[in-house]
Amino acid sequence: MANPYRGDKTVRLGDEARDTVTGFRGIVTAHTRWLNNCDRYTLQPAADKRSKVPNSESFDAPNLERVNGGVGEAIAVIRPKDPVDLADEVKDRLTGASGIVVAHTIWLNGCSRLMIQPKALDAEGRPAALVTVDEKDARIIKRAKPVAQVKTGGPRPSPRMP
């Protein structure tokens, strides 16, 4: 089955990729879409000679290049009948955590996870920490309003979001 969640057309889950800025290489294990349109991919390097597995790192999509096909296709992602979108307000049915969806990550193993920004501030007046939940456990409280196309005033048409 083809990978159901492709971000950048040149890099897919399961591919081996390289960050063109640092040279860091690894298998693409996750693709995260952020609310502010900055897609990032997580790369997992191979274990070293002592079988120690290095930490994975995440990079902006435009900085990555595909090295080779890697480990193959990702496992099919099973999303809910009513999938959650970025900017939706949700509540996790297990923890009760609620807030705005600021990121959505699809993992190589087929897991679909959401990062929620609570609306509350912490005791020191800073934004509360992000909460990560499984998409299947998130209940939509309020759908985000569609974003209107903004006229830039130039002669060239505005780019369309995928």
More confidently predicted of 59 and 120:
59
* Domain residue ranges of the chain, discontinuous segments joined by +: 16-68, 89-142
CA distances from 5 to 42, 54, 114, 118 (A): 14, 26, 15, 26
Question: Looking at 3-7, 92-96, 111-115, which range is the least confident one?
Answer: 3-7
Q: Specify burial of residue 129 (Cβ count, 10 A radius: 0-12, 13-18, 19+).
A: exposed
Kindly tell me the sign of the dihedral angle through the C-alpha atoms of 85, 87, 93, 95.
positive
Give per-residue pLDDT as tens, 20-29. Answer: 999 999 999 9
- The reported pTM is 0.78
Judge contact between 113 and 131, C-beta under 8 A.
Answer: no
Judge contact between 42 and 27, C-beta under 8 A.
Answer: no
Q: Reply yes or no on whether the pLDDT at 157 is more than 80.
A: no
Give per-residue pLDDT as tens, 57-93. Answer: 999 999 999 998 767 666 778 888 889 999 999 999 9
What's the confidence (pLDDT) of residue 89?
Answer: 97
What's the confidence (pLDDT) of residue 124?
Answer: 93
Structure token digits, residue 66 = 């595909």
**Residue 143, CB-side half-sphere exposure with 13 Å CA sphere:** 5
Give per-residue pLDDT as tens, 100-118. Answer: 999 999 999 889 999 999 9
The candidate with the shortest Cα–Cα distance to 142, out of 74, 84, 76, is 84
More confidently predicted of 140 and 51:
140
Longest dimension (CA), the chain: 59
